[in-house]
Structure 1
Amino acid sequence: MHNLDFTGEDARWDSLVERLRGRLNVLVSSFMARVAEIPEYAEGRVNLTEMQDTARETFSRLVDGLRDELCHHPGKGDASDTLRQFSSELGAKRARAGVSSEALTSAVRLDFSILWADLLEISDPGDAALLTTRVDRVWRVVDEFATQTHASYAMERVRMAQEESNIRREFISRLFSKSELSAATVSQAGAALATDAEARFSIVAASGDAASKLRTAAAQGGWNQPHQRLFTHEFGGSTYVFWALPRATGQSAPDGGQDYIPAAINGIPCGFVPGFMGLRGLPPAARTAERLALLLQPDDHGPLTAGAAWARLAKQQLQGAGLDLWADLDASLANCRGGERERLEETVRHFLTTGSITTTAQELFCHRNTILNRLNRFEELTGISLTVPDQAARLVVAWA
């Protein structure tokens, strides 16, 4: 073994470090061979030439960081400063390239093992004690480099996510701000939202407490898949959430149909327009969803579609025109005695739901003739025959 004093150890260490600097090509070749085993790098996520240049610069700066001179003369810390700056640039660059955090970690971890393996190769058997005293330094330099690289990577990912979110909000606002959308706007919005602009979409709208619940549900997501997102828009006191439905030829929604609504939204009172075609159809669908939300009643505990709310909408329109079907019906039934009115209304409501005298009798535990007598009595009082569709429709609207 070498019998070196402290100064001699420093000199020997600096000599080994200098030999490392002369072997940059070896270090880079070793790194390139091993990083190719990481799938994202092997797939060409990072340009090969750029990766080689980066590896050479990385090892050059790491080797500079191993010199004893920097430790004994703190004022000469330019190498450490430039290494931190370089690692910050590298982390941001890998984030922009779309390299995952796991792949980046795997690549950076190679630096220590490659450096240490080469140190062992160029050292003499008598350098064992020296290497033992310097292993912490090698690890510290590489670890600082890795830590700064990952910190920069994380900051860049946050910045990119914020930028992406701002771009999405901008294009969503464009979609909602125009009643007629140009082909260019639709295409650009689809690209910004990373979704097929020609797919089928569904939308819900709500205000007040329900709007707050919608925002929470949208943050939770719909399907547990990143490319099937819930998009949110706020305007005029209303919250809108829309999403693309899977194509029939690809994945299918959990219930297999265009009426699918995410579980987190399913229990929220809101206006719901399912399965409209393309982002071009978003403005009219949003207006319909908002209109349906205005028709919600206290006993509604989930999404309301036009199919379920058509009678409410018709009643609202008729009342706006000065026609009150309920007032006429109420006056016609005012002469009922005792519980007759309640029995008649119950029977008629069941019949309007089922369309069957037999089923109505079974549901109300009555004889079939009793149901017929009540329907005849109702017609006698109101002039409304439930067997005539347009008259039955008037009744459905009056009771909406």
Structure 2
Amino acid sequence: MERIIEEIREDLARRIAVAADRLAALTLAEDPAYAALLGRAELRERIHHNLRQAVEGLVRSSRGLPVELADARATGTLRAEQGLPLTSLLRTYRRSGRLLWQTLTEAVAAHDRAALPGMVPGATALWDVLDQMTDAVAEAYRHTEATRTDRDRERRAALLDALLDGAGAAGGPTASEAAVQLGLPDRGRFAVVVLGQGPAACGPGPATASAAGTGAAPADGPRVLWRVRADGEAGVVELGPHPLESVRELLAPLGVRAGVGPVVAAPAELARSYRLAALALRTVPVAAAPRTALLDERLPAALVAAQAELADRLRRVVLGPVLALPAEDRRVLLTTLGTWLGCQGSTAYAAQRLYCHRNTVSNRLRRLEQLTGRSLSDPAHVVELALAHTAVLQRAAGERGPGRPEPS
């Protein structure tokens, strides 16, 4: 094969130049990605160079030498950085291989048709060279693309952190700069959602979901940009015209506990929404069924959660005598109080929910009034009891921790 190539080298070089021009024209006509990236002269020169490299690879292979693949790797790296699809790059390489074989056989036939049968073993050698070049270009492309993806992911994470934390690192982007780079408008309707950890969050997270993970806006819902952080997963929500309630609908299929902060009008205010979203999440017990808590619907519970020291004081001052009772008595009175509060102060409805007589509920509530010195007919006392009851529940949830059952 080496001898034949040396004999036809000049004619082969001319034919390769013509073939490169033809393939460049065909590629630009059929592949918009290439047409947007390269001009005909540049692409022709690149194809011409690759064809010559393949011929030299064939010669080296016939001598028992390794094929030079540095240029193929450099091409894969360059095209990945430029954003050319890998399918386009590999298609051109494969076409180049077929075209080279056709050009080579035509040149041999023009020189000595009787030498054509001797080309058959060379076909296997040529395709081996072409496979090595194609593998090298693909491997370099994928490596570069993976590196670029990691770099983009880290950059995107830093931008989201600038929005969620409010004060970026020295030299880092401001919230306004981060918003621009993430494609968020200067003014609009935004909120933050924080996902809870624990047994409820056992399915695939939103960062793996197609629309949410890419930050794309679903056709019928708000756009969410997700960020996985050391303390959990958070999402910046661009609501647009959608109501805040739509976030609850968006999260429902995920089966997770979540807290949602209030709506803000500018990206620079997202840090506040993030802090309040985390506070809203703290109002949802770990052992509870998956639930999305909107802060504005959970303000009393959030108030208790925000002031741990005062909440503990409130719990002990208001419900201390009840908490001092034996475990079963304590559980019965606290459960009755919570049920009565959940039934908007209706003793009859509370009795139905507790599967007991109305008089039983009344007796329990009367005993609770005697122990606490608070009257359930006094609105101010009811507020105290409700907040203290919330403090008891939140403390119990904190003591149990994720995955531990609620005491009976």
Is this a same-fold pair by TM over 0.5? Answer: yes
Say if 1:240 and 1:286, in contact at 8 Å, map to a contact too: no
Aligned to 2:23: 31
Aligned length, in residue pairs: 372
Distance 2:378 2:40 in 1: 78
Aligned to 2:152: 164
Aligned to 2:404: none
Q: How far 1:389 sits from its partner (Å)? A: 3.9
2:139 is aligned, of 147, 151, 157, to 151
Q: Which amino acid aligns with 2:337?
A: V
Q: What is the identity percentage for the equivalent residue pairs of Structure 1 and Structure 2?
A: 19
Aligned to 2:401: none
Distance 1:23 1:335 in 2: 99
- Greater CA drift, 299-308 or 144-153: 299-308
Q: Against the structure 1 CA distance between its residues 225 and 312, is the aligned structure 2 distance closer, same or farther, given a 3 Å change threshold?
A: closer
Say if 2:156 and 2:182, in contact at 8 Å, map to a contact too: yes
Q: Which amino acid aligns with 2:16?
A: L
Aligned to 1:190: 179
1:36-83 superposed Cα distances (whole Å, 9 cap, x missing partner): 4765526625555533332222223333434x4x456679x8xx54xx
Aligned to 2:400: none
Say if 2:283 and 2:298, in contact at 8 Å, map to a contact too: no
Asked if 1:92 corresponds to 2:77, the answer is yes
1:168-195 superposed Cα distances (whole Å, 9 cap, x missing partner): 344345445545999x723432355566
Distance 1:342 1:54 in 2: 80
Asked if 1:352 corresponds to 2:341, the answer is yes
Structure 2 stretches lacking a partner, 5+ long: 217-224, 391-408
Aligned to 1:5: none
Could you say what secondary structure the match of 1:29 adopts?
helix
Q: Which amino acid aligns with 1:362?
A: Q
Say if 1:96 and 1:156, in contact at 8 Å, map to a contact too: yes
What is the Cα-based RMSD across aligned positions, in Å?
Answer: 4.6
Q: How far 1:164 sits from its partner (Å)? A: 2.1
1:342-365 superposed Cα distances (whole Å, 9 cap, x missing partner): 665444322210214443232234
Could you say what secondary structure the match of 1:99 adopts?
coil
Q: Against the structure 1 CA distance between its residues 55 and 361, is the aligned structure 2 distance closer, same or farther, given a 3 Å change threshold?
A: same
Q: How far 1:332 sits from its partner (Å)? A: 7.7
Distance 2:271 2:234 in 1: 11
Distance 1:244 1:333 in 2: 41
Q: How far 1:205 sits from its partner (Å)? A: 6.8
Q: Which amino acid aligns with 2:76?
A: G
Say if 1:171 and 1:189, in contact at 8 Å, map to a contact too: yes
Q: How far 1:301 sits from its partner (Å)? A: 6.5
1:126 is aligned, of 114, 117, 120, to 114
Distance 1:163 1:10 in 2: 45
Note the 1:201-240 alignment, pairs <5 A: 201-204=191-194, 217=205, 220=208, 223=211, 226-228=214-216, 229-234=225-230, 239-240=231-232
Q: Against the structure 1 CA distance between its residues 378 and 266, is the aligned structure 2 distance closer, same or farther, given a 3 Å change threshold?
A: same
Q: Which amino acid aligns with 1:32?
A: A
Q: How far 1:397 sits from its partner (Å)? A: 0.7
Aligned to 1:106: 91
Q: Which amino acid aligns with 1:106?
A: R
Aligned to 1:142: 130
Normalising by structure 2, we get a TM-score of 0.70
